[in-house]
Structure 1
Amino acid sequence: NMYIITGRENFSTSSITTIDCYNSGTSVRIFSALALLVKGGLRLIGEFFKRNRPIKPLLEALTKLGAQYSLQEEGVIINRKDVFCKSIDIRGDISSQFITALLILLPLLDCSTKGLIEINITTKLVSYPYVKISLDILRNFGISIIEETNSNGLLRYLIETGQKMRTQEYEIPADFSSASFIIAAAALSKEESHVLVKNLDFQNPQGDKKIIEILEQMGAKIQINLTDRSVLVFGNISKYPLKGRRIDCTNIPDLFPILSVIGAFAQGTTHLYNAESLRFKESDRISVMASELKKMGVSVEEQEDGLLIHHTKTLSGCIIDHRKDHRIAMACAVAALYANSESIIHNIEIVKDSYPQFFEDLESLGAHIERKT
């Protein structure tokens, strides 16, 4: 698919525009920032707010840029009342999307005074590769942002306001987060098999490409072809058994659900840690993965920042409750492929949040999926 986007100098509405962001944290946080560019502001609603997911630190940061907001149970109204711009201090250990939203907004913002605006990250920044992706895209479109590390090892960004994006053609790279489910399914196969996954750009700063390295370290056989931008994953887990290991999830939180499943099939114990931010995603992914794996017979210990997952010889099918979380649904579907009885997943349309063809791709690999209405 190709999208042609025509830029505009100004955005204004005669009445406030309402956007339903459903349960998309990315949409809520980025549109919260972009509301400052819309004369009249924006009203954001959706499941996100009903689940009480974190947004307040970003809204408070936006007040440093002249914003005012009204946060209620059903949504938030944001508009800009003043054109001053002050430096921002914001935590980085809740959601990297707070930082991404500010990085997108600040270069485009008009301010009453000229000069560099600082974004000071006051804690360790989780999910840094996702911020790196945003910086990479912004620089591709001609935006200048300076990234520095202070004496305490914390990041800060220096941004000149009033910049203009240049027009260009941009190819959206394949998503390693989505590919991780297929790669894992291939590595967990009991059959002598191989699966070729194409169009994976290892030069792209996506942190989730680490799924390849992790699986290889655990014992999977994977061949990488940088020229063809592909990976060949070999099946037969008896021939290429996986061994449990400690995995730091600080920069790869989106891999946590599928790594939890991989851990159930790995010999010994797999320890996923530094994943506290996952308690505030589309669901509490730490608690939900523990719950669903236990239903399948896996020995799991839930910790504050992650999971201890012990090797389980045989998984049992069950009724999976993904809590309307697309990554939980896909991870549990991969687990269900290798259970000793059928599993039922309701509302499978939830995977359209990130991977609309997920179940079709599983079927192309030989999975038996029966759809019921």
Structure 2
Amino acid sequence: MSGHGTPIPMTSRKSGPLRGTANVPGDKSISHRALIFGALVIGETKISGLLEGEDVLDTAAAMRAFGATVDHMGPGEWCVQGVGVGGFSEPDDVIDSGNSGTGVRLIMGAMSTSPITATFTGDASLRSRPMARITDPIGLFGATSYGRKGGRLPMTIVGARDPIPVNYKVPMPSAQVKSAVLLAGLNAPGQTTVIEKEATRDHTERMLQGFGADVEVTESAEGRVIVLTGQPELKPQKITVPRDPSSAAFPVCAALIVEGSDVLVPNIGLNPTRAGLFTTLREMGADLTFENEREEAGEPVADLRARFSPELKGVEVPPERAANMIDEYPILSVVASFAEGATTMRGVKELRVKESDRIDAMARGLEACGVTIEEDEDTMIVHGRGADGVPGGATCESRLDHRIAMSFMCLGMATQKAVSIDDGGPIATSFPIFEPLMKELGAQIVRANR
């Protein structure tokens, strides 16, 4: 059952060619950060291209609860009047972050070094996800946390009255953890240092620098070292949010496996810490081209064209690539099902603690559709069926997970028999226009309750 209402069963069946332009929504990671950073400046930050999915709207509501003025000016156009670093006021009510792990974890970091108390909750999926990875490091600043067994939501955070800077080595490759620590460090005196063994998406560092914070990033024997000087006076900005590469993955990958397809996705963010999927697809033999490469708002962008690729080959995805494509493994496993030979994905144990256990969710659904899967705690191997094609014909569980739901809908566009999901409702959290956008390209998606 969806955490956002009545379940919406959906079915996808074999499509004709997917053709046209896919104007996917703004980048979710950057949208969350734009709202939070806008709330941490004195003055007006204007944002265009903001993703208006449920996850980001929950973050906008949270910033209002902490005292910022957040106004919707038009489609994708938002204005934030911030309260400054350390200026958050105590919320009157519980902060509900819905399905968003990024939103709740970054906000916990941002408020943890102010002398206020806030209680956080979310939907059933978010309440099952681990939060100790955030509460442990913010505790080093002086914050205290009270939550359910296993460090799970609902969680009350009592912010540090006299925060101290910290030196923190991130124990797992997680941009959310890194970003939460950096946001906490904003209101701590002196220098906060974060060390990550494997580089993760760097939107927070880029945005900190863009807003005027003193941030130094270097490489060392320990890994990537980020040093933030606390208590800066951040400057209001005009932010143009590039389109989300994680959302683009769905029309792009569908085009690769649906015969005769040719899809253009304009203005896609190509931050090197986010582009691992496209690198992997090219290694598999995908017909992907980048056009009109440029830079916008400090982020590299391009127009991405994807064409049907009938001779895909299985590959070994290096484990060090996992950090910059962790959200894309579900849809990669769909493409791998149509490749010749095995595609091996190692170093992916983070998938076990996302909105769902994504390894198990994709493995069970793909097996039901006729694909052979091997897995262990940290590995997934998809044995592609190549020219034999994928039978399909199953109903797969979305498990309250937007990326699982969209992946199986893309699978059904190329299988011999239709593929259904029990609930497409969670798709609205990150890609509210997925269904009409894919239909406009030529996909055959129907809702069972219509």
TM-score of the pair, normalised by structure 1: 0.89
Correspondence 1:193 to 2:272? no
The separation in 2 between residues aligned to 1:57 and 1:46, in whole angstroms, is 17
Aligned to 2:226: 157
CA contact 2:127–2:153 (8 Å) conserved in 1: no
What aligned pairs does 1:70-149 form with structure 2 within 5 A after superposition? Answer: 70-72=146-148, 74-93=153-172, 95-107=174-186, 109-111=187-189, 115-121=190-196, 124-125=197-198, 128-130=199-201, 132-149=202-219
What aligned pairs does 1:187-266 form with structure 2 within 5 A after superposition? Answer: 187-190=256-259, 192-202=260-270, 205-227=271-293, 229-235=302-308, 237-238=309-310, 241-248=311-318, 249-266=322-339
Distance 1:78 1:146, change over 3 A: same
The separation in 2 between residues aligned to 1:110 and 1:309, in whole angstroms, is 46
The separation in 1 between residues aligned to 2:165 and 2:124, in whole angstroms, is 28
Distance 1:174 1:340, change over 3 A: same
The separation in 2 between residues aligned to 1:222 and 1:84, in whole angstroms, is 48
Aligned to 1:275: 348
Aligned to 2:117: 41
Aligned to 2:419: 343
Distance 1:42 1:276, change over 3 A: same
Distance 1:81 1:92, change over 3 A: closer
The separation in 2 between residues aligned to 1:319 and 1:23, in whole angstroms, is 23
Tell me how far 1:39 sits from its aligned partner: 4.4
Tell which deviates more after alignment, 28-37 or 179-188. 28-37
Higher relative contact order (CA 8 A, sep 6+): 2
Instruction: Pick from 291, 306, 322 the counterpart of residue 364 of structure 2.
Output: 291
Code of the residue aligned with 2:264 in structure 1: it is L
Tell me how far 1:98 sits from its aligned partner: 0.9
Code of the residue aligned with 2:253 in structure 1: it is A
Tell which deviates more after alignment, 88-97 or 290-299. 88-97
Correspondence 1:365 to 2:441? yes
**Residue 315 of structure 1: SS of its match in structure 2?**
coil
The separation in 1 between residues aligned to 2:376 and 2:343, in whole angstroms, is 13
Distance 1:206 1:359, change over 3 A: farther
CA contact 1:61–1:88 (8 Å) conserved in 2: no
Tell me how far 1:140 sits from its aligned partner: 1.1
Partner deviation per Cα, 1:39-76 (whole Å, 9 max, x = no partner) = 43210012368754221132121122121111125411
**Residue 83 of structure 2: SS of its match in structure 1?**
coil
Code of the residue aligned with 2:181 in structure 1: it is L
Tell me how far 1:175 sits from its aligned partner: 0.7
CA contact 1:92–1:99 (8 Å) conserved in 2: no
The separation in 1 between residues aligned to 2:194 and 2:127, in whole angstroms, is 28
**Residue 142 of structure 1: SS of its match in structure 2?**
coil
Distance 1:171 1:92, change over 3 A: farther
Tell me how far 1:182 sits from its aligned partner: 0.6
The separation in 2 between residues aligned to 1:141 and 1:155, in whole angstroms, is 21
Tell me how far 1:227 sits from its aligned partner: 4.4
Code of the residue aligned with 1:274 in structure 2: it is G
Instruction: Pick from 173, 183, 193 the counterpart of residue 242 of structure 2.
Output: 173
Aligned to 1:182: 251
**Residue 193 of structure 2: SS of its match in structure 1?**
strand
Distance 1:129 1:156, change over 3 A: closer
**Residue 446 of structure 2: SS of its match in structure 1?**
coil
The separation in 2 between residues aligned to 1:74 and 1:32, in whole angstroms, is 12
Tell which deviates more after alignment, 305-314 or 89-98. 89-98
Distance 1:48 1:349, change over 3 A: closer
Tell which deviates more after alignment, 84-93 or 361-370. 84-93
Aligned to 1:327: 403
Partner deviation per Cα, 1:61-105 (whole Å, 9 max, x = no partner) = 112212111112541111224313042334331633111111123
Gaps of 5+ in 1: none
The separation in 1 between residues aligned to 2:225 and 2:247, in whole angstroms, is 30
The separation in 1 between residues aligned to 2:82 and 2:264, in whole angstroms, is 38
**Residue 231 of structure 1: SS of its match in structure 2?**
strand
The separation in 2 between residues aligned to 1:105 and 1:50, in whole angstroms, is 21
TM-score of the pair, normalised by structure 2: 0.74
CA contact 1:283–1:325 (8 Å) conserved in 2: yes
What aligned pairs does 1:8-87 form with structure 2 within 5 A after superposition? Answer: 8-9=83-84, 10-13=87-90, 16-36=92-112, 39-47=115-123, 51-72=127-148, 74-87=153-166
CA contact 1:224–1:230 (8 Å) conserved in 2: yes
| Paired-residue identity, % | 26
Tell which deviates more after alignment, 86-95 or 24-33. 86-95
Query: Larger % of strand: which?
Result: 2
The separation in 2 between residues aligned to 1:184 and 1:16, in whole angstroms, is 44
Distance 1:316 1:81, change over 3 A: closer
The separation in 2 between residues aligned to 1:84 and 1:222, in whole angstroms, is 48
The separation in 2 between residues aligned to 1:302 and 1:84, in whole angstroms, is 43
Tell me how far 1:272 sits from its aligned partner: 1.0
